[in-house]
Amino acid sequence: MKFLIVGLGNKGAEYAETRHNIGFKVVDELAKEVGVSFQNETLAHIARIKYKGKQLILIKPTTYMNLSGKAVNYWMQKEKIEKANLLVILDDLNFDFGTVRLKPRGSDGGHNGLKDIQGILNTTEYPRLRIGISRPDQKGVQVDYVLGEWSDEEKKTLDSIITKSCEATKKFVSLGISLAMNEVNK
């Protein structure tokens, strides 16, 4: 059985340590855990790993965040992956920093990566792992905030949040969305 695990983010060194790239960080860690590196392929950096007898195709779209749907659709078609076996990992302003929530479906919540994926797949019915980055205190600075680097305070717990997100991803793969939600969303 195959799963497409999509970490959302923006390519390039200038974005590597930004809040918006938490999805990239999670799939990087999943690949690192088993000693696999990413290869540059069509529309994405891709790594293939096995987990409990299942094949996980990890991708980091190279299309930039706002065009993520093109890469997701391409790899779903190429690998013949059903929407139920797709997991999109992303940052979420609507959750407190460090909150990790597995959802079977939902709106884009103002997230441009999700907006593009939903537009191209023509559905909101696909699993996603939302990682809370909190909202900025000021209004009108959201873009600068999500494209900003982690604060020193956030960096202290970032590794544990990435680990928790990797565990949530593995639970999704091994248990299915419903049982995984029961464990992850406590």
Are 146 and 20 in contact by the 8 Å Cβ rule? The answer is: yes
Write out the E strands in 37-181: 39-41, 44-51, 54-61, 86-92, 100-103, 128-132
E strands present in the chain: 2-7, 39-41, 44-51, 54-61, 86-92, 100-103, 128-132
Of 113, 143, 149, 150, the residue nearest 128 (C-alpha) = 113
Active-site residue (options: 3, 9, 18, 20): 20
Amino acid identity, position 121: L
Question: What is the phi/psi pair of residue 62, to 5°?
Answer: -100, 20
45 catalytic, yes or no? no
Which residues have a catalytic role annotated?
20
